[in-house]
Amino acid sequence: EVQLVESGGGLVQPGGSLRLSCAASGFIFSATGMGWFRHTPGKEREGVARISPNSTIIYYDDSVKGRFTISRDNTKNTMYLQMDNLKPEDTATYYCAAVGGSSGSTYWRGQTFGYWGQGTQVTVSS
């Protein structure tokens, strides 16, 4: 069974930083593309960043370029999202996603994501 478990969310002031983690199990992590998405009530879920299995291909949404960094450690089956210089508009529930599957499939930057974590809340507020 595929499992994706996010952690690291919380409340942070504008300009602050957070590091999200996604622990993966139930599939061959080192052979699977991964991504981060976020959702705010009243808006559609949006792609934030994605990373190829060997980390050679990385994409960011324009809204986070230069502030967020996606990475992965295939020896630990874990993906990360380092978020710096956070802004109030970054407030959302952040989801870890894996390529494949068919549940709530979302196509973004050339990949279809169908495995999802439960989400972690990030709130940026003073």
pLDDT in tens, 28-85: 999 999 999 999 999 999 999 999 999 999 999 999 999 999 999 999 999 999 999 9
| Mean pLDDT within 20-32 | 97
Residues 6+ apart with CB under 8 A from 75: none
Query: According to the model, what pLDDT value does residue 105 have?
Result: 87
Q: What confidence tens digit (pLDDT) does each residue in 87-107 have?
A: 999 999 999 999 988 777 899
Amino acid at 40: T
| Cα-based distances in Å from 83 to 1, 2, 34, 79, 89 | 29, 26, 17, 13, 13
Q: Rounded to 5 degrees, what angle do the CA atoms 72, 85, 60 make?
A: 45
Residues 6+ apart with CB under 8 A from 28: none
Confidence band of 16 (pLDDT split at 50, 70, 90): very high
For residue 5, pLDDT over 90 is answered with yes
What is the signed CA dihedral for 77, 104, 51, 37, rounded to 10 degrees? -100
Between 104 and 121, the higher pLDDT residue = 121
For residue 14, pLDDT over 80 is answered with yes
Cα gap 17→90, rounded to integer Å: 11
